[in-house]
Amino acid sequence: MLNLRLNAEKLMILLASASFVLASFYTLILRGPVTREEAIEISWKTPLVKEGLDEAMSFGFFSTPRTEFWNATYIQALEAKYYREYLTGFPEDHGVWVIAWEISVPGISIQHYIDEFTGEILYQGVRYG
């Protein structure tokens, strides 16, 4: 009975590991890098941006984001100038999308730094006024 339980546990660990490997493979290799449009959509779907844009549109204003792509070389140059602690969590081997919203009516600036491969928001900066 104990031997059967150990085999079931090993099988579950193997299945969980295999699903993680497949998900990682899909995310990093098959899916490809996040496009500019996808990065904007990821940023746009955050509650803060949605609320700011909704308020701006209620007054007849519309905002489009400023976008930049920082490749790994540029990130490394920033690290050399500003030290690594200011770029905590940024990738060392690939780039990030920088999406900046200047929403004038509620008076809010929002910046998202989005990982090129995973689509994860690495940092959200907000400034009011």
Residue-averaged pLDDT of the chain:
85
Residue 123 CB contacts under 8 Å (≥ 6 apart), including other chains: 89, 111, 112, 113
pLDDT of residue 114: 97
pLDDT of residue 5: 67
77-115 in b/e burial notation, b at 16+ Cβ within 10 A? eeeeeeeeeebeebbeeebbbbbebebebeebebbbbbb
CA R_g for the chain: 20
pLDDT in tens, 10-57: 777 877 776 776 766 665 566 689 999 999 999 999 999 999 999 998
